[in-house]
């Protein structure tokens, strides 16, 4: 009996060669937009001390309660595969003294993240995010900047049919009173809270009642008091300034009171970007202010804002939008040979050409010339270089242009000049 074939673990994806073009396009575009906005790249480790996420993402959130991959390593350290990017970036900001640099610090990252979610279309256990963080500036002008960044990036990727959903959840001055109002409202209708999770949230995390996705909760949410109607003066000014900026930038938005964050260190702006056929798993990206996070991680009180985009979801949207992805059109040569002696001459020629910057792939050994040329077409080579006994003797090769199917005999120097100058 043959052994069972392995499958990739549930909720993970192989990114096959034919899809790599989309990923390269995303990365190149993201790098370009980041440069235009003056953001610098940061890479943080794939795993961190488990307590970083417990402290920052919070024990009573779904992410830390049910979704982290946490394990003890052989030295007894409790580690967590990063479920999101902001706490590691905040940690790095403090660890490397970025708070001593001129503020704000503008950073972006791109990498894989891990959540033990129930896998379905657009929801994976290992997924990729592109994200930005602006740390050290409280003004609403950076809120509009990161939103503009996210929208311009999507536009540049050919994904422009999106809706910007926006909310402000106030700050530590006005939120407690708002939460009291929300609790009083839900308390008076608690018999309509049919889910255990929602009843529990009424006590532990009332804001999260507003982002319940179940149908029964929707009428309750629709009639609930909204946070933007309960802001203190300074939060209201911040909110007005943000809406003013977005108006000036010509960006439309929908105010959505269901957009909340459960943790105290989040404040003011919260936003999401959704495609037009909004489904639960379709949010392309989201972000918001986290003015209390850096202090929670042991730093001085420092404001911050960021967003993260799900790369798999954006990639699916790019494919749907039909954005043409440029193929690699560089010269690619297959060296075909007839006989053993010419094989070793071919190997040396390949090595020489590679040093000159040309992409060279050897044809499969021990096959007919026809089969070697078929292989060259299958890997989308632009040229074949054919060496047989006759060419070996004369010190020449046959250069075949695979697009035009023309071929001619050329000397080695001419060959290099032709291919390297391409
Ligand atoms: P969040 O950090 O939860 O705000 O997520 C930011 C973005 O990452 C979401 O809008 C999604 O596009 C993407 N995302 C979050 N969780 C997953 C997941 N499990 N699988 C794929 N994409 C995800």
pLDDT tens digits along 47-86: 999 999 988 776 666 666 678 999 999 999 999 999 999 9
C-alpha 139 – ligand 1 centre gap (Å): 26
Q: Is 312 in the pocket of ligand 1 (CB under 6 A)?
A: yes
Q: Is 270 in the pocket of ligand 1 (CB under 6 A)?
A: no
Q: Is 288 in the pocket of ligand 1 (CB under 6 A)?
A: no
Residue 384 β-bridge partners: 334, 400
Complete edge-to-edge strand list for the sheet that includes strand 78-81: 47-49, 78-81, 70-72
In 93-147, beta strands by DSSP E: 105-114, 126-135
Q: Atom 14 (ligand 1): residue with closest C-alpha?
A: 310
Q: Please report the atom of ligand 1 found closest to the CA of residue 287.
A: 4
Q: Is 129 in the pocket of ligand 1 (CB under 6 A)?
A: yes
Q: Is 127 in the pocket of ligand 1 (CB under 6 A)?
A: yes
Q: Is 157 in the pocket of ligand 1 (CB under 6 A)?
A: no
Q: Which of 163-167, 309-313, 363-367 is predicted least confidently? A: 363-367
How confident is the model over 99-152, as pLDDT tens digits? 999 999 999 999 999 999 899 989 999 999 999 999 999 999 999 999 999 999
Q: Is 287 in the pocket of ligand 1 (CB under 6 A)?
A: no
Q: Is 308 in the pocket of ligand 1 (CB under 6 A)?
A: yes
- pTM of this prediction exceeds 0.95: no
Per-residue pLDDT, averaged over 391-420, amounts to: 91
Average pLDDT value for the chain = 92
Q: Cis bond leading into 278, ω under 30°?
A: no
Q: Is 124 in the pocket of ligand 1 (CB under 6 A)?
A: yes
Q: Please report the atom of ligand 1 found closest to the CA of residue 129.
A: 8
CA–CA distance, 146 with 26 (Å, rounded to integer): 18
How confident is the model over 349-390, as pLDDT tens digits? 999 999 999 999 999 988 999 999 999 999 999 999 999 989
Q: What is the pLDDT of residue 93?
A: 98
User: With 90 as the cut, is the pLDDT of residue 211 above it?
Assistant: no
Q: Please report the atom of ligand 1 found closest to the CA of residue 125.
A: 19
* CA-to-CA dists, residue 197 to 54, 61, 383, angstroms: 20, 12, 63
Helix (H, G, I), strand (E, B) or coil at 72: strand
Cα 148–chain centre separation: 17
Would you place residue 197 in the very low, low, confident or very high pLDDT band (cuts 50, 70, 90)? confident
Q: Please report the atom of ligand 1 found closest to the CA of residue 285.
A: 10
C-alpha 271 – ligand 1 centre gap (Å): 13
Q: What is the pLDDT of residue 57?
A: 74
Q: Please report the atom of ligand 1 found closest to the CA of residue 314.
A: 12
Q: Is 283 in the pocket of ligand 1 (CB under 6 A)?
A: yes
Query: Above pLDDT 70, what percent of the chain?
Result: 96
C-alpha 409 – ligand 1 centre gap (Å): 56
Q: Is 128 in the pocket of ligand 1 (CB under 6 A)?
A: no
Q: What is the pLDDT of residue 292?
A: 92
Q: What is the pLDDT of residue 64?
A: 66
Would you place residue 346 in the very low, low, confident or very high pLDDT band (cuts 50, 70, 90)? very high
Q: Is 112 in the pocket of ligand 1 (CB under 6 A)?
A: no
Q: What is the pLDDT of residue 422?
A: 54
* CA-to-CA dists, residue 294 to 59, 127, 290, 301, 329, angstroms: 17, 26, 8, 6, 46
Q: Please report the atom of ligand 1 found closest to the CA of residue 273.
A: 10
Per-residue pLDDT, averaged over 378-407, amounts to: 92
Q: Please report the atom of ligand 1 found closest to the CA of residue 123.
A: 20
Using DSSP bridges, classify how beta strands 406-411 and 70-72 pair: parallel, antiparallel or unpaired.
unpaired
Q: Please report the atom of ligand 1 found closest to the CA of residue 283.
A: 10
Q: Atom 15 (ligand 1): residue with closest C-alpha?
A: 310
- Residue 344's contacts (CB-CB under 8 Å, 6 or more residues apart) are none
Q: What is the CA radius of gyration of the chain?
A: 28
Q: Atom 17 (ligand 1): residue with closest C-alpha?
A: 123
Q: Which of 5-9, 42-46, 185-189, 235-239 is predicted least confidently? A: 185-189
Q: Atom 10 (ligand 1): residue with closest C-alpha?
A: 285
* CA-to-CA dists, residue 146 to 56, 168, 248, 250, angstroms: 21, 15, 15, 15
Residue 79 β-bridge partners: 49, 71
């Amino acid at each position: 009996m043959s052994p069972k074939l392995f499958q990739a673990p549930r909720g993970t994806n192989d990114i096959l060669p034919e899809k790599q073009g989309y990923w390269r396009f995303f990365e190149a575009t993201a790098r370009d937009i980041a440069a235009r906005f003056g953001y610098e790249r940061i890479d943080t480790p794939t795993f961190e001390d488990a307590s970083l996420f417990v402290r920052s993402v919070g024990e009573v959130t779904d992410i830390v309660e049910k979704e982290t991959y946490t394990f003890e390593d052989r030295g007894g350290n409790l580690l967590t595969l990063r479920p999101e990017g902001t706490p590691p970036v905040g940690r790095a900001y403090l660890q490397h003294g970025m708070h001593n640099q001129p503020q704000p610090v503008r950073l972006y990252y791109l990498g894989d993240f891990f959540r033990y979610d129930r896998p379905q279309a657009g929801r994976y256990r290992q997924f990729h995010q592109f994200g930005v963080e602006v740390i050290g500036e409280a003004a609403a002008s950076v809120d509009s900047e990161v939103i503009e960044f996210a929208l311009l990036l999507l536009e540049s990727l050919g994904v422009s049919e999106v809706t910007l959903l926006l909310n402000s959840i106030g700050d530590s001055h006005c939120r407690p009173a708002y939460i009291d109002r929300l609790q009083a409202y839900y308390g008076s209708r608690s018999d309509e809270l049919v889910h255990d999770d929602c009843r529990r949230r009424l006590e532990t995390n009332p804001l999260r009642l507003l982002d319940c996705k179940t149908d029964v909760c929707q009428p309750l949410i629709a009639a609930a008091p909204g946070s933007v109607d309960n802001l203190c003066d300074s939060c209201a000014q911040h909110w007005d300034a943000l809406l003013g900026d977005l108006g000036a930038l010509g960006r439309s938005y929908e105010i959505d009171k269901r957009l909340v964050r459960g943790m105290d260190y989040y404040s003011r702006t919260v936003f999401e970007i959704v495609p037009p056929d909004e489904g639960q798993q379709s949010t392309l990206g989201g972000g918001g202010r986290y003015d209390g996070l850096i202090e929670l991680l042991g730093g001085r009180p420092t404001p911050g804002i960021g967003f993260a985009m799900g790369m798999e979801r954006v990639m699916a949207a790019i494919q749907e939008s039909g954005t043409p992805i440029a193929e690699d059109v560089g010269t690619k040569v297959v060296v075909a040979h007839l006989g053993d002696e010419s094989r070793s001459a071919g190997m040396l020629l390949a090595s020489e050409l590679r040093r000159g910057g040309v992409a060279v792939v050897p044809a499969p050994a021990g096959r007919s010339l026809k089969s070697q040329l078929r292989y060259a077409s299958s890997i989308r080579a632009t040229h074949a270089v054919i060496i047989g006994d006759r060419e070996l003797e004369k010190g020449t090769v046959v250069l075949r242009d695979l697009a035009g199917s023309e071929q001619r005999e050329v000397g080695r120097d001419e060959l290099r000049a032709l291919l390297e100058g391409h």
